[in-house]
Amino acid sequence: MNRFAALLDRLQRDPSRLGKLRLMRDYFRDVPDPDRGFGLAALTGALSFRHAKPGLIKALIGERVDPVLFALSYDYVGDLSETAALLWPANPGGAAEHPPTLTEVVHALAETGKVELPRVLAEFLDGLDETGRWALLKLITGAMRIGASARLAKQAVAELGGKGVNEIEDLWHALKPPYLELFAWLEGRKPRPLIDDPAPFFAAMLAHALEEDDLARLSPADFRAEWKWDGIRVQAAVGEGRNGAKIVRLFSRTGEDVSAAFPDLVEMLAALPYRAFSLDGELLIRRDGLVQSFGVLQQRLNRKRVSATLLGDYPAHLRAYDLLACDGADLRALPYLERRRRLEAFVGGAGASRLDLSPQIDFKSWDWLAAARRDPATAGAGVDAAAIEGVMLKRADSIYVPGRPKGLWYKWKRDPFSIDAVLMYAQRGHGKRSSFYSDFTFGVWQAGEAGDELVPVGKAYFGFTDAELKQLDRYVRDNTMNRFGPVREIEHGKDAGLVLEIAFDGLNLSSRHKSGVAMRFPRINRIRWDKPAREADRLETLEIFLKK
């Protein structure tokens, strides 16, 4: 456990990617099986425990520390694991002589029953130093927040055996912690693990955001354009099990199996006249031939129970844009145009109303495409324009590369909306921003009983630079009117207050918000130190965006 804790501690301090890679490579090289495999699982988010959850940490610390002092500390530190590790009463005898191994900890967390777990966890914590406690609690909370992505951990593992990271990605979904066969292969002791999954997930190819000056060096002839759909990216995998039964899976972009939430799509996929395939596409809600906005799709997401009414009111639809495999052949090494040709034939022969093709946009110049992006409805998208959030550019010759390769695919989102709002409340942030006031609630003017008043319309916690964060933090501290627990009310009114230019991607009706609207992806575009609060926007201005 101590070796793993030291790795996490050094990873979160090392600012450089190369440094992090080296730390992880050394760890995977030096630490024996199965500890290193569980370390890899922790770094890639592959560990999850049934009973060991953040709630358990809060309960344990609640028995040892005054709840008010815990709440104030958590608010300041901004990370549950670290707060609990710092507050845990020091063992008078010092840390244990033989602290538990990572493997022992993982097994205990996975296998101990609900009743016994608090005692077992407390014993572990008593036997560890602060860094050890922090690392152990990170295993439970899952979110490492140490600045090393799952992809970087896989890269480090790949380098151990002189392989490319995509070779690891291809295998990944067939592997389980502690990855003994993976390490055996990387160290040349055994052959490559066999993937025996009839409906595997292929790591998704992602696009880079297009910067305006990219266009100058890109040639329209090299690219094909498609609409960027405002739904959720999914991968549909169908294959034949050993007994000949059809296996159908619907994966999220990250490879999570979401089939259970979409029985209507699973049924459609199972009935298609193909033995085995893997489709990449967008999950949308389509009613009476009309694709609905993301706001409507959201009504169907995150429901615990998928009722018949829900299925009837929110019929799921798959709009396909890539074919990754078909009848046993991996198509990912083919150029986009060739995959597209096969995809068109596939969808054409499918004969399913819940499956269609994401159309290509016929464009001649970037200017033409820019106009289409501004107004999809008149550029061929017709009635589906409500579900479009920009355009995608894909190189005609691009093979399908897992991850986010440079120069092949671009997403060109429509310009964000923007309003000027007044800062009303602030709260401390978490993770990277912890202990700074970095969560900002802002409002716009509306007519009230006693004249105009500010009504909160959203919350933003990014968009600003580090320097601006410091200025905002200082402003919050100097202009606090009231404190409600961790929340500070900031002076706001016609003659006092800070105006923030807020950019956002869309607006939905919301019954949960006092203003009746909810923004999508709001962020602080600019701090308007120059603008008086009385000149900030009104709710009516915001409501105009609802129709867009």
Partner 1 sequence: MQAADLLALKPAGLYCAAGDFYIDPVRSVERALITHAHSDHARPGHGKVLATADTLAIMAIRYGDGFAGSTQPIDYRESLRIDAVDVSFHPAGHVLGSAQIRVADAKKIAVVSGDYKRESDPTCAPFEPLACDCFVSEATFGLPVFRHSNAKAEIEKLLGSLRLFPERTHLVGAYTLGKAQRLIALLRAAGYERPIYMHGALERVTDYYARRGVVLGELRKVAGRADLAGEIVLCPPAALGDLWSRKFAEPLPVFASGWMRVRARARQGGVELPLVISDHADWDGLCATIAETGCSKLLVTHGAADALVHYFKTRGLDAEPLHIKGYGEDEAPEETSA
DSSP H or E stretch at residue 395: strand 388-395
Question: Rounded to the nearest whole angstrom, what is the least distance from the CB of residue 306 to partner 1 in the complex?
Answer: 39
Provide the minimum distance between the beta carbon of 98 and partner 1 in the complex, in angstroms, as a whole number. 22
Does 94 contact partner 1 by CB under 8 A? no
| Contacting residue, 17, 50, 62, 66, with partner 1 by CB under 8 A | 66
132 binds partner 1 (CB under 8 A): no
Regarding 65 and contact with partner 1 (CB under 8 A), the answer is yes
Q: Which is nearer to partner 1, 79 or 181 (CB)?
A: 79
The DSSP secondary structure of 185-249, one letter per residue, reads HHTTSSPPPPP--SSPPPPPB--EEPPTTHHHH--GGGEEEEEEESSEEEEEEEEE-TTS-EEEE
- Determine which residue in the list 83, 112, 235, 292 makes contact with partner 1, applying CB under 8 A: 83
Among 62, 351, 382, 431, binds partner 1 (CB under 8 A): 431
Which residues ranging from 136 to 165 are in contact with partner 1 (CB under 8 A)? 147
The least distance separating partner 1 from the CB of residue 12, rounded to whole angstroms, comes to 6
List binders of partner 1 among 449-508 (CB under 8 A): 466, 473-474, 477-478
- The count of C-alpha atoms lying within 13 angstroms of the C-alpha of 89, restricted to the half-sphere facing its C-beta, is 12
Shortest Å distance, C-beta 129 to partner 1: 12
What angle, rounded to 10 degrees, do the helices at 130-141 and 117-126 form? 150
Shortest distance, CB of residue 139 to partner 1, whole angstroms?
A: 16
Of 119 and 477, nearer to partner 1 (C-beta) is 477
- Which of 78, 231, 463, 506 contacts partner 1 by CB under 8 A? 78
If phi > 0 it is left, if psi is from -120 to 50 it is alpha, else beta; for residue 326 that is beta
Going by C-alpha positions, the residue among 263, 257, 259, 242 that lies closest to residue 198 is 242
Task: Choose the binding region for partner 1 from 61-69, 298-306, 385-393, 526-534 (rule: CB under 8 A).
Answer: 61-69
Nearest by Cα to 61 from 10, 109, 133: 133
Give least dist CB 156 to partner 1, A.
Answer: 19
**Of 90 and 345, which has the nearer Cβ to partner 1?**
90
CA distances from 430 to 75, 120, 202, 214, 370 (A): 8, 28, 32, 34, 38
Only one of the segments 39-47, 49-57, 68-76, 214-222 lies at the binding site for partner 1 (rule: CB under 8 A); that segment is 68-76
Work out which of 82, 282, 439, 505 binds partner 1, going by CB under 8 A: 82
| Helix ranges restricted to H, 94-149 | 102-111, 117-126, 130-141
* Residue (of 199, 271, 279) closest to 241 by Cα position: 199
Note whether 35 and 1 are within 8 A (CB). Answer: no
Beta carbon nearer to partner 1, 140 or 379: 140
Rule CB under 8 A: is residue 68 a binding residue for partner 1?
yes
Of 43 and 331, which CB lies nearer to partner 1 in the complex structure?
43
Return the CA Rg of the chain.
26
92 binds partner 1 (CB under 8 A): no
Applying CB under 8 A, which part among 113-121, 257-265, 427-435, 441-449 lies near partner 1? 427-435
Whose Cβ is closer to partner 1: residue 363's or residue 436's? 436
Size of the site for partner 1 (CB under 8 A): 32
Among 86, 333, 377, 544, the residue binding partner 1 under the rule CB under 8 A is: 86
Name which position in 3, 14, 49, 95 contacts partner 1 (CB under 8 A). 14
Contacts of 254 (CB under 8 A, 6+ apart): 204
Q: Which residue in 27, 172, 294, 436 binds partner 1 (CB under 8 A)? A: 436
Task: State CA 233 to chain mean position distance.
Answer: 12
65's tokens: 């520390």
CA distance linking residue 129 with residue 90, whole number of Å: 8
d(CA 376, CA 49): 46
Euclidean distance between CA atoms 69 and 65, whole angstroms: 7
Q: How far is the CB of 67 from partner 1 (least distance, A)?
A: 10
Which residue, 170 or 473, has its beta carbon nearer to partner 1? 473
Helix (H) or strand (E) holding 444: strand 437-448
Say if CB 434 and CB 526 are below 8 A apart: no
**Near partner 1 by CB under 8 A: residue from 2, 252, 434, 446:** 434
Alpha-carbon torsion, ordered 494, 499, 502, 506, to 10 deg? 0
Among 48, 50, 62, 69, binds partner 1 (CB under 8 A): 69
Give residues in contact with partner 1 (CB under 8 A). Answer: 9, 12-15, 65-66, 68-69, 72-73, 76-79, 82-83, 86-87, 134, 147, 431-436, 466, 473-474, 477-478
